[in-house]
């Protein structure tokens, strides 16, 4: 259930940021990517920091090397603003290469020719104790603040995926706050997302009404007919950004040439249409069911036996968890697994989003709440139909308002 406040999302977010500064004082930093959401949270945190005479505001930018040149230009402009203590990290990070080829990509790795030279004044070496992407931000928080209570602010929004919707509204993080993530509970280090209930229109309204500078890549994508929900500034090998490779050569030729040289599979992606990134609407006739089709893709689309075994383990756990799901509805699960294989999504992002969808989430909670599995039999026509048409590639949470 969603409860609405008598307050707009802008004022609600400012109050949340004020609360964070009350709790953590100077030990607050904004995690900036160059994108629209991080641009908004950075500017709003600056407003609060200025109110409290705590400028310059700490801002961290993790440069993944395979970035659009317009993103880098925007980061350079932001660094020049004296209201920010801008910390630009260019350190080795292991990130999957979802464009294909060699599936492991180490940005800023030693002994290779990088896509561009490192920035003067950026942080090129840091003893973080990890090179894994999903462990990086807790490590950065500890690197910046030691064992002191501290937090990062991000522009993550619940509207972007059902997994984020569930994670930002259903779990206690700290002192009654749900819109966050625990980095280190003992040290009281966290990640907070004060914009969690904003819609994409709220983001662009705030940018334009306040005349905040933003990355002009969005203008280039808009001019080429990219829908607002599909615009991405992510690193160019990320599973959600592969479609960007199809227009990179047209928008950013210099970066395109560097990407092709540095990232295996990028040139192949350029010559595919968007249907190549999706699972077919109908089961290919040479397969008996969607599970067999998934196994075929796992064998031929995932590059190493180590990665295939990791996905087999992930799929097996999911199949066991949803063994009571009606057979007709399991099709949606196998389709999502097929998409995981196509995108070499080794973190299982698409599958986690499917599981966190409102219908699957409610169904699973209902299943777990039943004491007698032998009596479970989903006959609700509404839920069955929703599973069939709404979960083809994962549910999409509706836009959220201030709550």
User: What would the pLDDT profile of 51-97 be if each residue is shown by its tens digit?
Assistant: 999 999 999 999 999 898 999 999 999 999 999 999 999 999 887 76
The average confidence (pLDDT) of the chain is 80
Q: Which residues contact 232 (CB under 8 A, 6 or more apart)?
A: 238, 240, 241, 243, 244
Q: In the prediction, which pLDDT does 111 show?
A: 84
Q: Are 37 and 157 spatial neighbours (Cβ–Cβ below 8 Å)?
A: yes
Maximum mean pLDDT: which of 132-136, 147-151, 174-178, 217-221: 147-151
pLDDT category of residue 176 using cuts at 50, 70 and 90:
confident
Q: In the prediction, which pLDDT does 365 show?
A: 67
Q: What letters, b where the CB count within 10 A reaches 16 and e where it falls short, cover 69-92?
A: bbbbebbeebbeeebbebbbbbbe
Among 369, 326, 342, CA closest to 276: 342
pLDDT category of residue 393 using cuts at 50, 70 and 90:
very low
Q: In the prediction, which pLDDT does 348 show?
A: 84
pLDDT category of residue 377 using cuts at 50, 70 and 90:
very low
Ranges in the chain annotated CATH 3.40.50.620: 1-276
What would be the CATH architecture of the domain defined by 1-276? 3-Layer(aba) Sandwich (3.40)
Q: In the prediction, which pLDDT does 92 show?
A: 92
Q: In the prediction, which pLDDT does 85 show?
A: 96
Share above pLDDT 90 across residues of the chain, in percent, rounded to a whole number: 41
Question: Alpha-carbon distance 98 to 337, whole Å?
Answer: 15
Question: Alpha-carbon distance 155 to 153, whole Å?
Answer: 7
Question: Alpha-carbon distance 204 to 210, whole Å?
Answer: 10
Residue 325, pLDDT above cutoff 80? no
pLDDT category of residue 361 using cuts at 50, 70 and 90:
low
User: Model's pTM, two decimal places?
Assistant: 0.70
Residue 216, pLDDT above cutoff 60? yes
Question: Alpha-carbon distance 362 to 288, whole Å?
Answer: 30
pLDDT category of residue 390 using cuts at 50, 70 and 90:
very low
- Give the CB-side neighbour count of residue 7, counting CA atoms within 13 A: 13
C-alpha dist (Å) from residue 126 to 95, 105, 142, 338: 17, 19, 11, 38
Q: In the prediction, which pLDDT does 403 show?
A: 44
Q: In the prediction, which pLDDT does 130 show?
A: 87
Maximum mean pLDDT: which of 118-122, 178-182, 321-325, 374-378: 118-122
């Amino acid at each position: 259930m969603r409860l609405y406040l008598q307050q707009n999302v802008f004022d609600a977010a400012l109050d949340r940021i004020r609360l964070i500064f009350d709790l953590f004082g100077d030990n607050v930093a904004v995690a900036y990517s160059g994108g629209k959401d991080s641009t908004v949270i950075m500017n709003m945190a600056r407003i609060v920091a200025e109110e409290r005479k705590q400028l310059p505001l700490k801002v961290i930018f993790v440069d993944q090397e395979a970035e659009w040149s317009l993103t880098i230009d925007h980061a350079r402009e932001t660094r020049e603003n004296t209201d920010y203590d801008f910390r630009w990290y260019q350190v080795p990070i292991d990130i999957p290469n979802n464009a294909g080829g060699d599936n492991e990509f180490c940005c800023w790795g030693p002994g290779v020719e990088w896509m561009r030279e490192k920035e003067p004044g950026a942080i090129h070496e840091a003893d973080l104790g990890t090179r894994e992407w999903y462990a990086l931000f807790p490590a950065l928080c500890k690197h910046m603040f030691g064992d002191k209570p501290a937090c990062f602010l991000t522009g993550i929004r619940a509207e972007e995926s059902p997994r984020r919707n569930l994670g930002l509204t259903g779990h206690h993080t700290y002192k009654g706050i749900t819109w966050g993530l625990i980095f280190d509970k003992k040290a009281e280090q966290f990640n907070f997302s004060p914009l969690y209930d904003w819609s994409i229109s709220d983001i662009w309204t705030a940018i334009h009404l306040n005349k905040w500078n933003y990355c002009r890549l969005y203008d280039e994508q808009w001019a080429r007919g990219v829908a607002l929900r599909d615009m991405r500034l992510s690193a160019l090998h990320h599973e959600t950004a592969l479609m960007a490779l199809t227009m990179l050569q047209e928008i950013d030729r210099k970066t395109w040439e560097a990407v092709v040289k540095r990232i295996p599979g990028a040139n192949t992606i350029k010559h595919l249409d968007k249907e190549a990134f999706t699972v077919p609407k109908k089961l290919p006739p040479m397969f008996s069911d969607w599970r067999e089709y998934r196994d075929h893709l796992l064998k031929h689309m995932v590059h190493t036996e180590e990665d295939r075994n990791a996905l087999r383990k992930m799929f097996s756990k999911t199949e066991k968890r949803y063994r009571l799901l009606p057979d007709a509805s399991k099709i949606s699960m196998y389709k999502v697994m097929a998409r995981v294989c196509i995108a070499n999504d080794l973190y299982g992002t698409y599958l986690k989003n499917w599981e966190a969808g409102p219908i699957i989430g409610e169904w699973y909670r209902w299943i777990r709440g039943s004491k007698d599995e032998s009596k479970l039999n989903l006959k609700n026509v509404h839920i069955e139909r929703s599973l069939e048409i709404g979960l083809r590639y994962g549910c999409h949470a509706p836009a959220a308002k201030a709550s």
